[in-house]
A = this chain, B = another copy of it.
């Protein structure tokens, strides 16, 4: 079997871009197809008895495991909580499966576990079940963490791609690109004036503060960045997505690093951001409320869903031109989350 013209898995198959899609499509979905999985949401929605649940899973293989603004433990809990939160689901129970490389120091392990525990406390959600495996030195890199989570959907109708209509506005809760650039700089040992810290944070508190049926869809733009999420919306709905470059929150440090590295912030992973698609007449109210929350103080309306540009993402650039934003092939660097 050959995918992307190779018969072996490439690093870019894990980057969250087109190659990852191809891997999922050609290998996993072909065998596991069912309505839950096929919906390609970040969590499955389970209808058990009279309540709707979200069920999600993710592995975390970030390198290095400690980075400016966070660590793999905070990342794992936040990532799992956020995947539930964007489904409108209150995180209820999390699980963790640890794959540890022989030789990891207990001091490092403890720092990670402490960080997980403190992030769990922030959200008020318990880790209810766990598993630990150890592999030989060189058969993992320090530690990989897989987490799953269950949450109860708290809004009806729940946020869902198929509720999106032309005219809906796009909101984001703050500046993009922080997580990906923070990890890249640290890993490559790059120095520049100023510092970029990851935005990694659990978003349930922010999201629950504005949760209502007026929010039609939410997603956390992680691997592949905002470019990936917006393209997913355009492709799934068949509508166009129009964004204004000058409205997208970006810190001066991210702008500098983006130019130095030649990597667009819009393609870089976030771990504390949520993109919301909201009813036009509620956007200002939601924006105001988000801005009163520490994790939403730089929230902004960045664009809209349109009838034009069917299934394409178009950016009105700061230079007054327009530009098609395509799906990134893979994350600029692997192992960002």
Q: Which residues of A contact B (CB under 8 A)?
A: 1-3, 7-15, 20, 23-24, 27-28, 31-32, 34, 36-37, 41-44, 46, 48-51, 53, 55-61, 92-93, 95-107, 109-110, 113-114, 116-117, 120, 126-136, 138-141, 144, 146, 148, 150, 152, 334-335
Contacts and interface: CB of A to CB of B under 8 A. Distances in A.
Nearest to A46: B93
A117 B29 CA distance: 10
B136 A96 contact: no
A24 to B, nearest CB: 7
A32 B134 contact: no
Contact of A57 (B31, B34, B148): B148
Interface SS majority for chain A: mixed
12 contacts: A2-B106, A9-B109, A14-B135, A28-B132, A32-B127, A34-B128, A42-B129, A44-B128, A46-B128, A59-B132, A134-B334, A148-B148
A114 B28 CA distance: 9
Contact of A131 (B1, B59, B106, B132): B59
Which 10 pairs between the two chains have the least Cβ-Cβ distance? Answer: A14-B134, A146-B146, A44-B128, A148-B148, A57-B95, A36-B128, A31-B117, A59-B97, A97-B146, A1-B106
A150 B56 CA distance: 11
Contacts of A110: 1, 27, 31
Nearest to A4: B106
A49 B153 CA distance: 13
Contact of A37 (B46, B107, B130, B150): B130
B334 A136 contact: yes
A211 to B, nearest CB: 19
B128 A11 contact: no
